[in-house]
Structure 1
Amino acid sequence: MTALTLSSSDAATLRADVLVVGVAKGPDGPVPASGSEAVAEAFDGGLATVLETLGATGAEGETTKLPVSGLKAPLVLAVGLGPVPGDGEEYDAEALRRAAGSAARALNGTRKAGFALPLASAEAVAAVAEGALLGAYAFTAYKSDDAKAGKGKGAKKGAGKGPLGEVALLGAKALGKAAKTAVERAVALAEEMNRARDLVNTPPNDLYPESFAAVATAAGKEHGLKVTVTDDKALLKGGFGGLTGVGQGAAHGPRLVKLAYTHPKAEKSLAFVGKGITYDSGGISLKPAGHNETMKCDMAGAAAVFAAVITAARLGLKVNVTGWLALAENMPSGTATRPGDVLRMYGGKTVEVLNTDAEGRLVLADAIVKASEEKPDAIVDVATLTGAMVVALGNRTFGVMGNDDAFRTAVHELAEEAGEPAWPMPFPEELRKGLDSSVADMANVGGRMGGGMAAGVFLNEFVGEGITWAHLDIAGPAFNEAGPFGYTPKGATGSAVRTLVSLAERTAAGELG
């Protein structure tokens, strides 16, 4: 992974391959931001004019390279920060995070870059550090050596460039201990987000319930977590009808993984539950052509939960956090669950399966009931649950639902503060009636309209009495099939990790509940 250091050098004396500076979008053209003074001096005060001549505007994410003399770094990369802040205001964290990510992506193959972006506070330091480390991410595990080096027939121009080697933050040391703490948090968070991205990007022939459980077990040993893996035989014996029913058509049996982080001084406990469908064919209700190719990403909720628990442990947060990974493959076969089958879920409720492609809620239901038995102060589940949520909110925003309006609002606000676009969704009463079944306690799907909210209504039926609960449907932002932007790569994004970590931090600080 890209190394990150706090440099004692300034922009004029840092020895690096590239110096990154910020430029804002002003009413009359690009405006160099604070941190770029040494570069401006190297251009005799004409940096803005040079940038404008090269077509730079300061728009968010825009990058412009220009050679420079008089500095130890031979090249400058100006990255757009968006509009100039108002009088007395600073650049917000997300603008800095995205700018740093865009710069890091533009510098693939570079050995060392100095980032001289505006750092007015420890929050700004954290944002730039996060953005740079997340923007430098690349998934190359399955590339041949020739492909990594950009060699061979059909190699694309620029292919094979490894990620940026080192990021040196300029100006952060002046902020003292707060900056150091902010960087340590950013490194832990970015490394675990990138680990979640790796898991989601791993093809399903290598990542299946058993192998995912092995990854979790190894990480638990590394970070002092108690890890419990319940295999397919034990799930069947224990009455986990949701996990067993979804996974019974696959060659790889289901697993329920529990990762427990505890702090001796914790006063609150959180349970995070993640949907972990390592491949989703739709089962007997097979997905149509063109909808299967990215279904390795259907375990992104479990990856986010896994990463969040590990991050909480690395940060030593004073809160108990338990992660539940509900892992299964949803495959069609002679042993697969059929539309019309009735499953007896963990806890006793019966569910008529009308659509085997509405499987995520079935594995989550079992895990939510199990998590409820430990009576945590709150449960949050995370899932790439419904295409309906993508229709409602698009590809970059996840939906937040819950059984407590105040908690739902708190989770939504934490997501926005962390840089993860989210939107609160309601639970219309009529949707529950749509889940009625003539042969079982309920059906796993209702009417076509409001499908994303109906899935949340379904899950609500399995939350333990008196337990505060929120549901995050990350179907849109979990996997980016378009081009990269800011610190977001193509492919897995690590969606919801920052929201879960922020929730754990606020709970540890006594600010929630």
Structure 2
Amino acid sequence: MPTAEPTIPDTAATTASPSTVEAGALVIGLHPAASADGAETTGAPPVLAAGAADVDAAFGGELAELLRVVGATGKVEQVVSLPTRGAVSAPRLVAVGLGEAGDDAAAADRIRRAAGAAARTLAGTPGVVSTLGAAGAEAAEAAVVGALLGGYRFDAHRSSTDAGSAPVASWTFTGVADELVRRAALVAEAVATARDLVNTAPNVLVPETFAARAVALGERAGLVTEVLDDERLRDNGYGGITGVGKGSSNPPRLVRLTWNGGAAPARKVALVGKGITFDTGGISLKPNAGMADMTSDMGGAAAVVATVVLAAKLELPVAVTATVPMAENMPSSTAYKPGDVLTMYGGRTVEVLNTDAEGRLILADALVRAGEDDPDYLVETSTLTGAQQVALGLRTAGIMGSDDLRDRVAGHAVATGEDGWAMPLPEYLRSDLDSRVADLANVSGQRFAGMLLAGLFLKEFVPAGVPWAHIDVAGPAYNTGGPRGYTTKGGTGVPVRTLIAFLEDVAANG
């Protein structure tokens, strides 16, 4: 079984000139050449980004022209490489396009993407020195996170690996403060933790082993941990989790991880994440095409586990509790079925019309339990609906909930480059969830507004008066295509960076 925490490259900051640092390669950034009116100029030498002045001087002030000759334009993620022939200490120079210069969130994400592209190009290099973070705090965070995540690999299930494709062993960042590198490396480690959990094969990561991994991560970070097994879940009335999980030979779990926020926590935040370790659809069986991707149906759970651990490592003055329901949705003679009525934790009853709408059932139990802690904010995330992908595509999360908190969380999603869009919860849709025999049904009888209806279902289990947000990451949590920027194939770790940015916001502003 994979270890609890991922191995990420060593990171360091230095005040030395990048031209003098001993490394296997030196990375600099480029912007496209621009005319006086700001338009890109075709054929002109690219503009060297911040931090590359000493490197340019080592090349006699002709580095931009030399890079133009080998085809560099400064376009985002374009990577060109050339031997330094002793001009600088590193034997190889890699120039990566950053796109248009700027100091906004979009510019920071372009740096992340560029750093990720450079990291993939430099796979197998023992050590790299980078100037990409020299333009300020946001650029520093972006350069470190992008480099570490762009080079991410998951090899836990391989019998052997090619050393030439291994991630860069160490990164040194010039013009960047030590503390910024340390924090950014912890953020990247948390994202990698979530990716590892999602990428672990579903025969290995069943509810019991997922719970053990979560507890191991929590205990290493000094968290208070609690695990409810299937017997305790039944005895305490968690009808959603036990109902979904009873079709599997791998019984369900509920994990709770708590960071106390230190001596004077600013607020109390509840995090909830969907932990379906594999989803066949149950009796309402999914089609075979794409079913293997359902190993990612615990992406929300992976994200909140990684986030509460990160909050502890950063010693954020916010009390954070992650409530994580875990189950495997399988068809069998013991599986729940369409027409069943389940009694949720807290007493509400739900008529099951589709067993493939199982995530909301286990989340209902978890939301009620999280609400018993009387949090100031409640944020839940899940790979919940295919309708999210239809509405917003594969990279933009749908964010619903209390208007103010929804918009606040969506703002952090955009600012971190994870991307999210605020969506409504129209009250007129609520009647579509009316049941003929129970308090409500788990799906509607019509095929429209599936993402919003799922949000309305969850709203029924959020305590009155608690600001809450639901982040549907059905598309963004798992990349079925090739690598891009700092996003590798498979688990992406979304929305860890959104969640930690929100917690830091709460720590600073309440």
Pair in the same fold by TM > 0.5? yes
> How far is the alpha carbon of 1:366 from its aligned partner?
0.3
Query: Contact between 2:106 and 2:417, CA under 8 Å: does it hold in 1?
Result: no
Residues 207-246 of structure 1: CA deviation (Å, up to 9, x unaligned): 0110011111112221111111001111111111100111
Query: Contact between 1:300 and 1:478, CA under 8 Å: does it hold in 2?
Result: yes
What residue identity is the alignment partner of 1:121? G
- 2:3 corresponds in structure 1 to none
Query: Contact between 1:33 and 1:118, CA under 8 Å: does it hold in 2?
Result: no
> How far is the alpha carbon of 1:470 from its aligned partner?
0.4
> How far is the alpha carbon of 1:93 from its aligned partner?
1.9
1:134 correspondence with 2:149: yes
TM-score calculated relative to the size of structure 1: 0.93
What residue identity is the alignment partner of 2:172? A
1:62 correspondence with 2:55: no
What residue identity is the alignment partner of 1:346? Y
Residues 447-496 of structure 1: CA deviation (Å, up to 9, x unaligned): 21010111000000000111111000011110001111111111111001
Aligned residue among 195, 200, 203 for 1:202: 200
Query: Contact between 2:32 and 2:100, CA under 8 Å: does it hold in 1?
Result: yes
1:77 correspondence with 2:94: yes
**Secondary structure of residue in 2 paired with 1:92:** helix
Distance 2:238 2:59 in 1: 68
Q: What root-mean-square deviation, in Å, do the aligned CA atoms of Structure 1 and Structure 2 show?
A: 1.5
- 1:36 corresponds in structure 2 to 52
Query: Contact between 2:115 and 2:485, CA under 8 Å: does it hold in 1?
Result: yes
What residue identity is the alignment partner of 2:151? A
Distance 1:381 1:34 in 2: 39
Identity of aligned residues (%): 50
Aligned residue among 103, 120, 124 for 2:135: 120
What residue identity is the alignment partner of 2:339? G
Distance 2:415 2:106 in 1: 14
What residue identity is the alignment partner of 1:419? G
Residues 289-321 of structure 1: CA deviation (Å, up to 9, x unaligned): 212111110000000000000000001111100
What residue identity is the alignment partner of 2:100? P
- 2:36 corresponds in structure 1 to none
1:53 correspondence with 2:69: yes
> How far is the alpha carbon of 1:34 from its aligned partner?
2.2
Query: Contact between 2:105 and 2:415, CA under 8 Å: does it hold in 1?
Result: no
1:267 correspondence with 2:266: yes
- 2:377 corresponds in structure 1 to 378
Aligned residue among 24, 48, 66 for 1:17: 24
- 1:175 corresponds in structure 2 to none
Query: Contact between 1:12 and 1:71, CA under 8 Å: does it hold in 2?
Result: yes
Aligned residue among 169, 177, 187 for 1:165: 169
Residues 51-94 of structure 1: CA deviation (Å, up to 9, x unaligned): 23322221111111111121111111101101244xx9898322
> How far is the alpha carbon of 1:502 from its aligned partner?
1.2
Query: Contact between 2:101 and 2:107, CA under 8 Å: does it hold in 1?
Result: no
> How far is the alpha carbon of 1:171 from its aligned partner?
1.6
Aligned residue among 431, 436, 441 for 1:433: 431
**Secondary structure of residue in 1 paired with 2:503:** helix
1:8 correspondence with 2:25: no
Runs of 4+ in 1 over 6 A off after TM superposition: 88-91
- 1:238 corresponds in structure 2 to 236
Query: Contact between 1:22 and 1:118, CA under 8 Å: does it hold in 2?
Result: no
Distance 1:363 1:89 in 2: 39
Distance 2:472 2:104 in 1: 34
What residue identity is the alignment partner of 2:84? V
**Secondary structure of residue in 1 paired with 2:89:** coil
- 2:5 corresponds in structure 1 to none
Q: How many residues align?
A: 491
1:104 correspondence with 2:104: no
Query: Contact between 2:266 and 2:506, CA under 8 Å: does it hold in 1?
Result: no
- Go from structure 1 to structure 2 and tell me whether the alpha carbon gap of 1:39 and 1:267 turns closer, same or farther (over 3 Å shift): closer
Query: Contact between 1:123 and 1:182, CA under 8 Å: does it hold in 2?
Result: no
Unmatched tracts of structure 1, length 5 or more: 151-159, 173-178
Distance 1:411 1:431 in 2: 23
- 2:458 corresponds in structure 1 to 459
Residues 132-186 of structure 1: CA deviation (Å, up to 9, x unaligned): 11112110111122xx137xxxxxxxxx5210011010122xxxxxx22222211
Unmatched tracts of structure 2, length 5 or more: 1-7, 34-39
Query: Contact between 2:278 and 2:329, CA under 8 Å: does it hold in 1?
Result: yes
> How far is the alpha carbon of 1:116 from its aligned partner?
1.4
Distance 1:90 1:395 in 2: 20
Distance 2:417 2:90 in 1: 31
What residue identity is the alignment partner of 1:36? A
Distance 2:463 2:240 in 1: 17
- Segment of structure 1 superposing worse, 350-359 or 180-189: 180-189
**Secondary structure of residue in 1 paired with 2:205:** coil
- 1:391 corresponds in structure 2 to 390
